[in-house]
Chain A
Amino acid sequence: MFLERWLNQLRATLTFDVDEASADRYRILRRNLVVLMAVVTLVPLVLMAAINYYEYRKVLSHELASPLRNIVSKTKHSFELFIAERKSAVSFIGRAYGYQELADPQRLNHIFRAVKQEFSGFVDLGLIDARGVQVNYVGPYDLKGKDYSDQNWFHEVHIRGTFVSDVFLGYRRFPHVVIAVEQMTPEGARWVLRATLDTQMFNELIASMGLDPDSDAFLINTDGVFQTPSRFYGAVLEKCPLGVPPVSYQATVIPALDPSGRPVFIAYAHFVHPNFILMAVKPQADLLRAWTTLKSELVVLFVGGTSVIFFIVYWLTGVLVRKVREADERREAAYQDMQHHHKLSSIGRLAAGVAHEINNPLAIINEKAGLMRDLLQRVPDFPYREKFETLIVAILNSVDRCRNITHRLLGFARRMDVQIEVLDVNEVLQEVLGFLEKEALYRNIDLQLNLAPTLSRIASDRGQLQQVFLNILNNAFAAVPDGGRVVVRTWDADGDRVGVSIQDNGHGMSPETLRHIFEPFFTTKKGSGTGLGLPITYGIVKKLGGCIEVQSEEGRGSTFTVYLPKKSPSLEEGGIFG
């Protein structure tokens, strides 16, 4: 339904009423075509470009983020290894020495020194009995005898066997973690070996990631609290403003906005135990620099391509519309020509019919009046002789006038036998001008001849041409005032035709008159013209395979131009009006 309506609208934009005489219609057609073709060609291009853009961007982001993911993954393993190592060291001490030995302060002191030499980060070491009391301790504080029985980690180590704490600030305001391992005496009594580590090593591990100055990496716990200091987002034990990412033990990269509104990629990985999350933050701008370059190339390519397409569409449409317009105009001209010809031929047939019908009764009137005159002459003493003589002469004169009219009508419609001969148009013109020389002299008309001396000879009908030139010259003489000017020119128009122009500086014609001059019975010579001169001229010129053009301006004069073919026209059978 909707599609149908849309298609109808589309059709409407491409077509218009044939009768619509709007001068804008070709402009509108061109605009519609340009829009439609541009849409048809550019929409798929735009879609392709958009899809490519997003797909490529996705792939590129993935590719660019993978080094970040790798380094997070590797560092996470280093952390896990570090913690596991420390945990097994504590566990090993517990198993290797046993409760009794570790309870000896000197012994514990000795072991602690050895451990500290082998493993960095150990701060103290303590032995806690089943009741939670620290029975032996080596380290910088005096914690011997401290009771841990009500602390969470003590219960947890009992449940899980080992325990690694979150980072906390110890008495020296340094971040620490605690590792505790539960052991059993042979008698079955529980005891716990507890070591404190400073987190200097954590910082070193993070530093070893070798990040850019505008990037950041840190550990948080699952509550979102910093376990190591961050370059941009806060100190140890502060809340991380980036929040806690969803659980993933694989290194994962997500895009995000940091608190300052900077678009960043966050790479992170959860630890299985303890509840740490390693996070690396890198500004997107860094990673996408290559992408930005590519993007601008893409944009240039797209804009360039689009312009080229649009230009071609616009140009092609222009050519197309111009062709359509020319075809329309040619068709229109041919149609008018045909219409005119048709009109002339119908009027010609009608005139012939009318003339024939009138000629017979006219002949009767003529004879009757003639007889009356004959009889009158035989009666010399008829009383009204003078009067009757006048009446009969009037009748005969009227018959004469009618005869002239009908004979001209018949001449107009007459079938002509064209006799083609090779002739010189200049010569024909000279002959015709011979008829008019006296009038030109008498009326002081300036008759200028501008005849091409090398004019090609043409194959045509001398008699018909004489009539053509005589008709046009008669009109020119009628149009100019005494002392006016008539210019006759001949020239080789092109390869196939010669041109003859007859120009006068007479009263000229209005555009309205100009439209009708080749129609039969149209005349401006009131009373004296039959309105058949130019239609006959037109018919003859057409018959001879030529064409006739008129230019005229009111008050300035007229120019009749006749083009005649050099080669004999193929004559169709029939009269000048078909």
Chain B
Amino acid sequence: MEMFRVLLVDDEREFVTTLGERLEIRGLTVRIAYDGPEALQALEAEPFDVVVLDVRMPGLSGLEILKRMKTSRPDVPIILLTGHSATRDGIEGMRLGAFDYLMKPIDIDRLLEKMREAVLGRTSTPAGGD
């Protein structure tokens, strides 16, 4: 049930690689993208159950990426990560269609729970993938 395919998008390599490794240990399939264009490309190319997206990134901002992702793959739920005075970014993200937001540093169990909610919410529809 936790064999989700996850796309992690964050420019903070140390953070995102470690998080990815931990998720893989828990049995998830992880794909990491370090910036917006890479993430959008990956989303076009591969199927994902859920996207975890950092709001603050250089270049293309998290909210901008979110908007484009929602345009190209509106069916993939997106969980936002915020690193700072985040509430407004979080709420803005929710308005733009994000599933939920979490504040860094995150608790991995909580992240998994959110992912589960996001994916199961989606998989409850007939469009579900697994």
Per the bound structure, the CA–CA distance linking A290 and B62 in Å amounts to 107
Per the bound structure, the CA–CA distance linking A371 and B19 in Å amounts to 8
A interface residues, how many (CB within 8 angstroms) = 25
Cβ A355 vs Cβ B25 within 8 A: no
| Cβ of A569 under 8 Å from chain B | no
A360 and B22 in contact (CB under 8 A), knowing A399-B105, A415-B88? Answer: no
Per the bound structure, the CA–CA distance linking A547 and B83 in Å amounts to 33
B105's contact among A375, A378, A403, A413, by CB below 8 Å, is which? A403
B interface residues, how many (CB within 8 angstroms) = 21
Mark the stretch among A76-84, A361-369, A381-389 that contacts chain B: A361-369
A359 and B104 in contact (CB under 8 A), knowing A352-B85, A364-B15, A414-B87? Answer: yes
Residue from B22, B83, B85, B86 with most neighbouring chain A CB atoms (10 Å)? B85
A363 and B21 in contact (CB under 8 A), knowing A407-B103, A415-B88? Answer: no
A-B contact count (CB 8 A): 68
Residues 385 to 426 of chain A near chain B (Cβ within 8 Å): 399, 403, 407, 410, 413-415, 417
Cβ A415 vs Cβ B85 within 8 A: yes
| Cβ of A531 under 8 Å from chain B | no
Write out, one digit per residue, whether chain B residues 89-118 have a CB within 8 A of any chain A CB (1) or not (0).
001000000000001111010000000000
Per the bound structure, the CA–CA distance linking A352 and B86 in Å amounts to 10
| Cβ of A370 under 8 Å from chain B | yes
Task: Find chain A residues with CB under 8 A from B88 CB.
Answer: 414-415, 417
A410 and B85 in contact (CB under 8 A), knowing A363-B104, A374-B22? Answer: yes
Cβ A370 vs Cβ B22 within 8 A: yes
| Cβ of B125 under 8 Å from chain A | no
Task: Find chain B residues with CB under 8 A from A363 CB.
Answer: 12, 15, 83, 104-106
Task: Find chain A residues with CB under 8 A from B46 CB.
Answer: none
User: What are 10 of the A-B contact pairs (CB < 8 Å)?
Assistant: A359-B84, A359-B105, A362-B104, A364-B12, A365-B105, A366-B105, A367-B14, A367-B19, A371-B25, A374-B25
Please list the residues of chain B having a beta carbon within 8 angstroms of any beta carbon in chain A: 12, 14-15, 18-19, 21-22, 25-26, 83-88, 91, 103-106, 108
The 7 tightest CB contacts between A and B, nearest first, are A356-B84, A366-B105, A367-B18, A363-B105, A363-B104, A410-B85, A364-B14
